[in-house]
Every structure is written in C-alpha cells, then in structure tokens.
Structure 1
Amino acid sequence: MVLNVDVRKFNTKTIIINLFLLLGFALIGGEVIPSLIGASWRGFFCDDESIRYPYKADTITSANLVIYAYFVIIITVVATEWYFEDNSNSGTYIKLKVGRITIPPFLVRALIYIGYSQIGAACMYVVINLTKVTIGRLRPHFLDVCKPKDLVCSKNEYIINYQCTGDESLVLEARKSFFSGHSAISMYASTFAVLYLLSRIPRDLSIKSVLPILQTIVIVMGLMISFSRISDNMHHWSDVMVGIIVGVFFASYTCIIVAKMFNEPEAELLPFREQKADYVTVNSTKSTDQSTHTISTPENCEETCTNSPEPKQ
C-alpha cells in the first residue's frame, strides 16, 4: 500500500476573503439590488385564464428547499469521501492543520467539494433574484392574491392601471414567477451530486447498478420539487422548465469548469490553500516483509518527495 499524506496549514486569511466575497456578492446581488429595483409592474388581459388559479400554500417551503439542497450535497460528498478513504489502498491525501488540530483527509476533500458547490450556488442565486424582478411575470394565482379594486373590463382588454387590495407581501411575490427559484436550486443540488458521483465513483465498481440508481434517485427528488411548483399554482410550466435548465447549467459549469472534477483525477487541489505554507509529507511503502517511512520537510523535499523508497525484495 502506498499512502502519501500532505499536511498543510489552514490559510485562514484566504478562506475568510473568499467567504466574504461570496456572501457579499450573494447578499448584494441577490437581496439588496433586487429590493431596490422592485418587481416590474405588468398588466394583464381580462380573459387571461393562466393567472386566475387559486392561491395555495407551498408543498415544499423555502426552508425545506434549503435543507434539501444542503443535505443532498453534504451527505453525498461526505459519505463518498469517507467510504473511499476507508476502503482505499493507495492515493494522496491532504490534511489541514488548524492550530494543533489536524482535519482528517476525507473531511478536507469533502470541504473542498462543498466549497466549490457554494461558488456556483451564490452566482445562481443572484441570477435568479435579478431575473425575477426584472421580468416581473405574474404567477398563476396573481388575481387571487391581488384582488383588483373595482375591476371591470371586457374580453381581450389589456389592463395596466389597477390597484391590488390583497396582502402586499403576497402581491409582491406574485410578480416574481419567472423563473422558478425552487426548480433552479433543487436541480442545481441534484445535478451537482450526480456529476460529483460520476467523477468520484470508480468505473470498475463491482456492482455496476449502484451509480445509476443513486443518480436517478437524486435527479427524481430534484424533479419532484420542481414539478410541485406547477401543482401549487406557484409557477407556469415554462417557468419551471427554465428553472431546471438554469440549475443544470450552473451545476455543470461549477463541476466541469470551476472545480475541474473531470480534469483532475486526484482532486486534492485546494483552491484556498496557502501556496507557500510549511508542510510535511509522509510517504509510507509497505510490503509483506518490510515497511519503510520517509518524512520530508521543505528543505529536503525536492529529493525525497520525488524518489519514494523502494521496498526491499
């Protein structure tokens, strides 16, 4: 068994900067700016049946959606990394040191992938909220929550000047139909998990049906959340379809372009690590009759890290 363990110091400064940038970008672009802009005011045709559906409570609330998104990504990544580290006979692992605490290799790898998932999620969140307020499409239950005052109109007449008497918060949300945030977020999490599994589970896995079964389960859960938005009269079918496409796109972009999951087989590239940090590399080579250990420091790593000791015959 050949095991390479690379111990690196936790680069607190860089981690904080990246977190600050992501959170700031998501907060300003996804909350502050949309609130300042406000939802676009759109009129409607008197005979438009697509916005006359009754208002219904969410089957999947926003809180449920967030729980699902984090659950499917975190559980998938942590469980997979733990399993393959526990059952791996060889490989290279990175350990992070936070003070005197050393984080296990599988958890380091899991945190790397989870961190990548948050980059794509933050960018998508901004796109979702800015699009909603810019387009201002009316939800299927708009007239039910708006309750227009003294509305009298004839068939095919377009009404632009009207006054809603319903709950202001519900009316505001009823102007944000395009595109479905639930669909985008649920499919982002599902697609990220599917692509992650595809990149991490070995092709020579003895039970071939495991991977497609796991991927199908995750995709179906994402689709069911998306479709619930149609049955709840929260979105038109086209809103949901676009949301699904956006979620799949951002997840694919994050996995393939940002995280480079399929370009780096040994995905130990830690995006926020300190490039010139002190580290210790431990190379352990075991044979049936002898074990040899080499501990390398930055001063002598050039020689010992490139030439691992050969086991005696």
Structure 2
Amino acid sequence: MEKMTDLKSRKKFYKNLTVELVIMAGTVMLAYYFEYTDTFNVHVQGFFCYETAYTKPYLGPEDTSAIPPALLYAVVTGVPTLLITVTETVLFLIQYTSKDLDSREKTIVNGDCCYLNPLVRRTFRFLGVYMFGLFTTDIFVNAGQVVTGNLAPYFLIVCKPNYTALGCQQALRYISHQEACTGNEEDILHARKTFPSKEAALSVYAAVYMAMYITFTVKAKGTRLAKPVMSLGLMCLAFLTGINRVAEYRNHWSDVIAGFIIGVAIATFLVVCVVHNFKGKQLLNEDPPEDHLSSNPMVSSPRVESPLEKYIASQNHITFAEIT
C-alpha cells in the first residue's frame, strides 16, 4: 500500500513538472516568433500629410540610445537572478546554522516522493516565475504592437513619403497604404511598433517584482529603511527608462504609460496569486520532542503558541518561507 502511494505521488510530481515545462517552453517559443520572425503581420496605420505628431527628430537606431536594448535585457535578467540567488542563500544559511537539526530536517519532501534542498527549491521557484513573467510581458507588448501598429514620433522622418505623388499639395489627405513610404523598410517596420513601450514594460516589471520580493522576504532587523530605499531605487530606474524613451522621441507618453501598466499588472499578479507574496510555512521547523520523534518521525503533533511567543519569535528570527 505504501509503495502504491509513493508511486502515485511520483507520477503526480512528474506530471506537474512536465506541464510547467511545456507551458514555459510554449511561452518562450511564442515570444521568439513575435520578436524574430514575421509570422504576425504588423497593422499598417495611416497618417495625415505633414502630421506634426510624427515629425520628431530621428536619433538613430536603438543601439545608439542612452539605454540600448542589450543593456536593458542584461539588467532585467542578470540583476534579479543575482539578487534572488544571493538573498535566498544568505537567508537559508542564517537559519540553517541557527538550528541544531539533523540532515533529515534540512531537506523537504516534494510530492511525497522527491527530496529537494529547500534553498534549491525556493530559488528555482522564484526565478522560474520571474522568467515566465518576463517572457509573458514581452508577449503582451509584442501583441499590442502588432495589433495597433502605432507610429513612432519620428515615423515621417524614416518613412520619407513622396508628398507630391501622394497628392498632398492640393489638400490635407489621409495616407493609409504601405507603399506611401520610400525609406528603409526595417526602420519603417520598427517605427510602426511603439505601443506599448517594451522597454518601459520590462523595466517596471523587473522593478516591481524585485521590490515586492525584497519587501516580503527579508525580515531581519535593521532593514526597515534599507528595504524601501532599495525598492524605490529600482522603481526610479524603471521610471527613468520610460522618461528616456520619450526624451529621445522613440515613444509617445501613451506608449510608456501603457507599458508601465502592463509590467505592474503582470508582476503584481504573479507575486500575489502564484508565489503568494513569497510566504508560506516556515522552512526549517523546530525540533520535535525526542520521544515523539523516535516513535513516529514523520508525523508531528500541532503546537499552540501563545501571543507572547509569537511576538518574540517574530523579533528574533528571520522568517524563511516555503512555497506550498
């Protein structure tokens, strides 16, 4: 009977793992098709002759920006990975060394079948959810850009329309066909994909996720001021990224605001509904009574703590939560 239960637990564990991997792979593939292929055609939005909203200066390709895409992608992937890994390691070591536990209590059971180090489990869980949200944000942004085809503030500079051939000399006309442009096709295509702003969405997503991670996870004394400073610093960097997009005439204000909304919404949803504010049952529990452990080591009786004990524990220990 025990073997049958263990077999069912293993099957359930591997089934859930397979589903999660398939979802993650599908998300990555969809982001790839949006980003690097022409599978989804961009909507061709029209414009009026000499429309001033699209005649801002063109400051060059994205690589010449003050915040180039390579730098942005490196920051939103590298910094959270490093911060989560270091934080989880430090918190685990602090609690690990503060308790006299045997090797059995320093591992957790996953699906009643597979023993995993709690540090590995938490780190991969939080990083996996973060990366999933990063690709999801990219998909939402690319979908919005493809559907709307919103024009960049410098669109007419790279479009280079022939106003004489288009008949703009006699009257103010609305041009809606793609052949109206005579400029570089790659620049024109990029100038049709600005709403919402990808840079604003990715930067604010990373900032909100990490700010909530720092706020909910670190419970040590002396961090009452450090946590809001770090969180507000991350939010400030994301806000400056959006400001830079407008200052360089690469996005409209509406593009940046829409990107901020998407990034904040996805980060908040994942933190609240998926990882439950990074909280759960305590990872390393207190040692059970010796006589009870010898009789039944896998079952522990519930213990009721007084309000005073709870208060003292909250002041003297760093809570290292486990996702259930």
With the length of structure 2 as denominator, give the TM-score of the two structures.
0.72
Q: 1:183-205 CA distances to partner (integer Å, 9 max, x unpaired)?
A: 10110011000011111121x62
Q: Please tell me the residue identity of whatever aligns with 1:18.
A: E
Q: Please tell me the residue identity of whatever aligns with 1:87.
A: I
Q: 1:285 to 1:267 in 2, by over 3 A?
A: closer
Show the counterpart of 2:52: 49
User: Following TM superposition, by how much is the alpha carbon of 1:213 offset from its aligned partner in structure 2, in angstroms?
Assistant: 0.9
Q: Which moved more, 1:183-192 or 1:121-130?
A: 121-130
Show the counterpart of 1:62: 69
Q: 1:116 to 1:188 in 2, by over 3 A?
A: same
Aligned residues: 276
Is the contact made by 1:180 and 1:243 (CA closer than 8 Å) also made in structure 2?
yes
2:183 to 166, 170, 175: 166
Q: 1:10-54 CA distances to partner (integer Å, 9 max, x unpaired)?
A: x66644542332221342366259833311111111232121122
Root-mean-square deviation (CA, aligned residues, Å) is 3.6
Is the contact made by 1:284 and 1:294 (CA closer than 8 Å) also made in structure 2?
no
User: Following TM superposition, by how much is the alpha carbon of 1:73 offset from its aligned partner in structure 2, in angstroms?
Assistant: 1.7
Mapped partners of 2:189, 2:293: distance in 1: 63
Q: 1:279-312 CA distances to partner (integer Å, 9 max, x unpaired)?
A: xxx97749xxxx979989xx95543x4489xxxx
Show the counterpart of 1:106: 119
Is the contact made by 1:145 and 1:167 (CA closer than 8 Å) also made in structure 2?
yes
Q: Please tell me the residue identity of whatever aligns with 2:145.
A: K
User: Following TM superposition, by how much is the alpha carbon of 1:261 offset from its aligned partner in structure 2, in angstroms?
Assistant: 1.6
Q: Which moved more, 1:225-234 or 1:150-159?
A: 150-159
Mapped partners of 1:103, 1:221: distance in 2: 36
User: Following TM superposition, by how much is the alpha carbon of 1:239 offset from its aligned partner in structure 2, in angstroms?
Assistant: 0.3
Mapped partners of 2:174, 2:106: distance in 1: 64
Q: 1:239 to 1:283 in 2, by over 3 A?
A: closer
Matches within 5 A, 1:1-313: 14-28=16-30, 31=33, 35-56=38-59, 57-58=61-62, 59=65, 60-88=67-95, 89=98, 94=107, 105-149=118-162, 150-154=165-169, 156-161=172-177, 162-202=179-219, 205-261=221-277, 264-266=279-281, 285=287, 300-303=296-299, 305-306=300-301
Residue aligned with 1:37, SS:
coil
Q: Please tell me the residue identity of whatever aligns with 1:252.
A: T
Larger relative helix fraction: 2
Mapped partners of 1:31, 1:133: distance in 2: 12
Sequence identity of aligned pairs in percent?
24
Give unpaired runs (5+ residues) of structure 1.
1-7, 269-281, 309-313
Q: Which moved more, 1:82-91 or 1:186-195?
A: 82-91
Mapped partners of 1:93, 1:153: distance in 2: 76
Q: Which moved more, 1:116-125 or 1:139-148?
A: 116-125
User: Following TM superposition, by how much is the alpha carbon of 1:237 offset from its aligned partner in structure 2, in angstroms?
Assistant: 0.9
Mapped partners of 1:140, 1:294: distance in 2: 72
With the length of structure 1 as denominator, give the TM-score of the two structures.
0.75
Q: 1:243 to 1:284 in 2, by over 3 A?
A: closer
Larger relative strand fraction: 1
Q: 1:165 to 1:300 in 2, by over 3 A?
A: farther
* Higher normalized contact order (CA 8 Å, seq sep 6+, divided by chain length): 1
Q: 1:302 to 1:82 in 2, by over 3 A?
A: closer
User: Following TM superposition, by how much is the alpha carbon of 1:118 offset from its aligned partner in structure 2, in angstroms?
Assistant: 2.3
Is the contact made by 2:34 and 2:142 (CA closer than 8 Å) also made in structure 1?
no
Show the counterpart of 1:276: none
Is the contact made by 1:284 and 1:293 (CA closer than 8 Å) also made in structure 2?
no
Q: 1:93-121 CA distances to partner (integer Å, 9 max, x unpaired)?
A: 65699xxxx97533431211111112322
